Amino acid sequence: MSCPFAKTDRTQPNRSPKRVSFEREPVFAVIDEAPICHVGFTLPNGQPFVIPTIHARVDHLLYFHGSTQSRLLMAIASGNPICCTFTFLDGIVAARSAMHHSMNYRSVVAFGTGYLLEDEAERQEAFRLTVEKLIPGRWENCRQPNEAEAKATAIAALRIEEATLKVRSGPPSDIASDMDSAHWAGVLPMQTVYGAPIPDPQLPNGLSVPPHIQALV
Amino acid sequence: MSCPFAKTDRTQPNRSPKRVSFEREPVFAVIDEAPICHVGFTLPNGQPFVIPTIHARVDHLLYFHGSTQSRLLMAIASGNPICCTFTFLDGIVAARSAMHHSMNYRSVVAFGTGYLLEDEAERQEAFRLTVEKLIPGRWENCRQPNEAEAKATAIAALRIEEATLKVRSGPPSDIASDMDSAHWAGVLPMQTVYGAPIPDPQLPNGLSVPPHIQALV
């Protein structure tokens, strides 16, 4: 049993507190299921940026990799405050009233600060975790990085200091006086699905889709 | 023919310039297709926030609505710099080398500043556009806002000053010496699909799914 994330000025909801959770397990579950996140950072001139990227997580560390030239990687590693948001859309909520139209969603907002990984073993492990997060079983089924590739890759870690999960689910929240309305109301469920794998046109003949790829579909 | 968005320090790519477009039409197409965006803003203490929300667009204006208590709405309306990012994931790219694993995606990063809408007719029109963006045809098929609801709703507009579209598509970009590798390589296509509409359990009997909802599935 781990204790929940702290409620602070950054994470205290000002509305709909019943939709918000500070518990670690459900927060981590959304982070681990999300294929990407949106990383927010601010330049010294005050300009915010929001950039989508892939990630991996171990305990309270998020790993990100990119070119050593990447503005995103350098921003994460700067030690300045970062916000990292993971979002699933689960449906469109059609309410009887215009006012109560909404989305069903799960969204984690995580705050932390980052640094560049320097230790070669830790860098290699973070690289492995990122590939494995994208496609479980892939690391042993691809060519692992050579020295030049490892050198050209920056890997940043972000310590999650605070995080919240906000969830909306279920039917619309119409007011009592609208319940007898003749307007249809309900939810249009949404989900992300994978199609059949598209082999690289330059694959050698006879190379069939391996089990670790097939397992994703 | 409209001219492209400006290339500035904010939008100039430092890598992969061939993936980046400054043209307005493809930028607007991604914004209009995206069901939500991730809005980035920075508090005066330097803390960035990234919050998912729904939007609507007319020309260079993005509209957002929320409670008059919403931190997000107040941040958008503050006049401080905002970054708004719209992302589609189109596939997982399994390369022969660990290094070249990637995602296929389309992502618009838009920069601008916002303000609160005050004019009642403009506010009502922005409200209508947001509902229509979520579910085309819905505005005339739900109860429109009454005076109290309109008062409780803040609507902010964000002027898009600069924006870029970044796209990755197609097979992995492996290096020549890996092309004869025995590792399978290719793309796992992803898409978001809608399931069958789930009627609100409290709907009156005999209210069937209307055409404007059925049209989304």
CB A135 within 8 A of CB A35: no
**Which residues in B lie closer than 8 A to residue A144 (C-beta atoms)?**
98
pLDDT at B77: 96
pLDDT tier, A17 (very low <50, low <70, confident <90, very high otherwise): low
pLDDT tier, B6 (very low <50, low <70, confident <90, very high otherwise): confident
| CB contact (8 A) between residue A188 and residue B213 | yes
Quick check: helix, strand or coil at residue A141? helix
Range with lowest mean pLDDT among A11-25, A174-188, B74-88, B187-201? A11-25
Size of interface A-B (CB pairs under 8 A): 289
Residue in B with minimal Cα distance to A183: B142
Quick check: helix, strand or coil at residue B78? coil
pLDDT tier, B3 (very low <50, low <70, confident <90, very high otherwise): confident
| CB contact (8 A) between residue B187 and residue A197 | yes
Whether A1 has a pLDDT exceeding 60, the answer reads no
User: B16 or B91, which is more confident?
Assistant: B91
Q: Residue B70: which of B113, B30, B41, B100 has the closest Cα? A: B41
CB A14 within 8 A of CB B69: yes
What mean pLDDT comes out for the span B135-164? Answer: 95
B209 burial level (CB within 10 Å; 0-12, 13-18, 19+): middle
**Best mutation target, B15, B188, B209, to test chain A (most A CBs within 10 A):** B188
pLDDT at A8: 85
pLDDT at A15: 66
CATH number of the structural domain B17-214:
2.30.110.10
**Which residues in B lie closer than 8 A to residue A149 (C-beta atoms)?**
97-99
pLDDT tier, A9 (very low <50, low <70, confident <90, very high otherwise): confident
| CB contact (8 A) between residue B81 and residue A46 | yes
Whether B17 has a pLDDT exceeding 80, the answer reads no
Residues of chain B with pLDDT > 90: what percent?
Answer: 88
Say which residue the tokens 């590798």 belong to: B181
| CB contact (8 A) between residue A96 and residue B199 | no
pLDDT at A206: 85
Question: What are the extents of the domains in chain B?
Answer: 17-214
pLDDT at A118: 96
CB A35 within 8 A of CB B92: yes
pLDDT at A108: 98
| CB contact (8 A) between residue B142 and residue A98 | yes
| CB contact (8 A) between residue A216 and residue B188 | yes
State the smallest CA–CA distance between residue B209 and chain A in angstroms: 7
CB nearest to B200's CB, from A128, A172, A204: A172
State the smallest CA–CA distance between residue B155 and chain A in angstroms: 12
**Which residues in B lie closer than 8 A to residue A80 (C-beta atoms)?**
46
Whether B13 has a pLDDT exceeding 80, the answer reads no
Instruction: Produce one character per residue of A16-42: b if its CB has 16 or more CB atoms within 10 Å, e if not.
Output: eeeebbbebeebbebbeebbbbbbbbb
CB nearest to A141's CB, from B128, B172, B183: B183
B21-58 pLDDT tens trace: 999 999 999 999 999 999 999 999 999 999 999 999 99
**Which residues in A lie closer than 8 A to residue B208 (C-beta atoms)?**
184
What mean pLDDT comes out for the span A14-26? Answer: 83
Distance CA A28, CA A32 (A): 6
**Which residues in A lie closer than 8 A to residue B91 (C-beta atoms)?**
198
| CB contact (8 A) between residue B186 and residue A193 | no
Predicted structure pTM score: 0.95
State the smallest CA–CA distance between residue B206 and chain A in angstroms: 10
Residue type, B6: A
pLDDT tier, B141 (very low <50, low <70, confident <90, very high otherwise): very high
| CB contact (8 A) between residue A97 and residue B145 | yes
Distance CA A73, CA A70 (A): 5
**Best mutation target, A200, A208, A213, A214, to test chain B (most B CBs within 10 A):** A200
CB nearest to B188's CB, from A71, A83, A213: A213
Return the CATH number of A17-173+202-214, one of 2.30.110.10, 2.30.130.60, 2.60.120.620, 3.30.1490.20.
2.30.110.10
- The neighbouring-strand residues paired with A105 are A89, A168
| CB contact (8 A) between residue B216 and residue A70 | no
pLDDT tier, A96 (very low <50, low <70, confident <90, very high otherwise): very high
Whether B1 has a pLDDT exceeding 60, the answer reads no
**Best mutation target, A47, A50, A74, A76, to test chain B (most B CBs within 10 A):** A50
Residue in B with minimal Cα distance to A75: B48
pLDDT at B158: 98
A35-83 pLDDT tens trace: 999 999 999 999 999 999 999 999 999 999 999 889 999 999 999 999 9
A119-169 pLDDT tens trace: 999 999 999 999 999 999 999 999 999 999 999 999 999 999 999 999 999
Model ipTM value: 0.95
**Which residues in B lie closer than 8 A to residue A191 (C-beta atoms)?**
192-193, 195
